[in-house]
Amino acid sequence: MIIQYPDFTTAEKVVHAFSTREGGRSRPPFSALNMAFHVGDDPELVRANRKLFFANLGLDLAKSTWASQVHGDRVAVVTEATAGAGALDPSTALPGTDAMVSDTPGVSLCVMTADCLPILIFDERLRAIGAVHAGWRGTLFKLPVKTLKVMSEVFGTDPADCRVALGPGIGPCCFQVGQEVLERFAQEMPAEYSRFVVKKQTREYIDLYRANSLNLQGIGVPAKNILVSSACTSCNSDRFFSYRAEQGKTGRMVAVIGLLE
């Protein structure tokens, strides 16, 4: 049910986790631990799943903050005033938002995924946090970099002090993309392109972990502070929700990072 990186948050009073699909109450195709209201699951079961997961983590679900994700590049600064948005009622989720940052004790930030890469950021020096939804568009827009820039502006974050965890998402083994997507990456990331595009016979695959990792290192996050999952969601759809492996009819996992009071 829970994946945590032992080396990510060694500080006290910071909690992070990535959920798997195991251990919840939802029925197929959302079985079992579906965290998303917007996929067509019974809202009561989604609430029950979220309560169960947060209780296991020792985080207050009522102060967990959720967004209506749109594959865009908006970063929201979460304060006491917006803490808890979307936690139990999807109509209160932060609109049109794919990344959140906060330094407010008690607040947690939640990103939902099924193949897209969830990315969690922890500024060890200032105890500030960030959570990012990075599919290919978020990767192309360099949303993790933009999120760190917002953390720098608002909290004074230095990327050199940050640890970043790239959670389970679709791997380069499965993330085949078409010419149009490749051309956009060639345009946006020409210097790095050959390092994250994998060619097998006539097909081309993108390594989202590598692309985001290179972008993060480019703004000063030390390579040793970037933790990368080795699991591919699409190869392991028994353990993870996979939009691609399940042709779009599936649930969502959550990646969460929170500051305890």
Residue 171 is a binding residue for Zn ion (CB under 5 A): yes
Interface residue with Zn ion, options 15, 48, 145, 174 (CB under 5 A): 174
Q: Give the whole-angstrom CA distance, residue 249 versus residue 242.
A: 9
Write down the least CB distance from residue 173 to Zn ion, Å: 3
Nearer to Zn ion by Cβ, of 154 and 235: the residue is 235
Write down the least CB distance from residue 174 to Zn ion, Å: 3
Q: Give the whole-angstrom CA distance, residue 103 versus residue 181.
A: 35
Who contacts 164 (Cβ-Cβ below 8 Å, separation ≥6)?
A: 119, 120, 121, 122, 144, 216, 221, 225, 226, 227
In the numeric block, which tokens belong to residue 162?
A: 């940050």
Residue 235 is a binding residue for Zn ion (CB under 5 A): yes
Per-residue CA distances from 172 to 52, 78, 101, 204 (Å): 32, 33, 28, 9
Q: Give the whole-angstrom CA distance, residue 242 versus residue 234.
A: 5
Write down the least CB distance from residue 168 to Zn ion, Å: 11
Nearer to Zn ion by Cβ, of 1 and 235: the residue is 235
Residue 229 is a binding residue for Zn ion (CB under 5 A): no
Who contacts 122 (Cβ-Cβ below 8 Å, separation ≥6)?
A: 8, 9, 11, 14, 16, 128, 129, 130, 162, 163, 164, 257
Residue 182 is a binding residue for Zn ion (CB under 5 A): no
Residue 232 is a binding residue for Zn ion (CB under 5 A): yes
Per-residue CA distances from 76 to 68, 82, 101, 143, 152 (Å): 11, 10, 6, 12, 14
Interface residue with Zn ion, options 173, 187, 194, 200 (CB under 5 A): 173
Interface residue with Zn ion, options 147, 234, 237, 242 (CB under 5 A): 234
Write down the least CB distance from residue 179 to Zn ion, Å: 21
Write down the least CB distance from residue 178 to Zn ion, Å: 18
Q: Give the whole-angstrom CA distance, residue 167 versus residue 255.
A: 8
Sheet of 75-77: strands edge to edge?
Answer: 75-77, 99-102, 128-134, 117-123, 162-166, 226-228
Using the rule CB under 5 A, give the single segment among 79-87, 121-129, 167-175, 192-200 that binds Zn ion: 167-175
Tell me how many residues contact Zn ion (CB under 5 A).
6
Write down the least CB distance from residue 250 to Zn ion, Å: 15
Sign of torsion over alpha carbons 136, 141, 147, 152 = positive
Nearer to Zn ion by Cβ, of 127 and 244: the residue is 244
The interface mask with Zn ion, positions 200-219, x = CB under 5 A, is --------------------
Write down the least CB distance from residue 164 to Zn ion, Å: 22
Nearer to Zn ion by Cβ, of 88 and 235: the residue is 235
Nearer to Zn ion by Cβ, of 24 and 168: the residue is 168
Kindly list the residues in this chain that would bind Zn ion in the complex (CB under 5 A).
171, 173-174, 232, 234-235
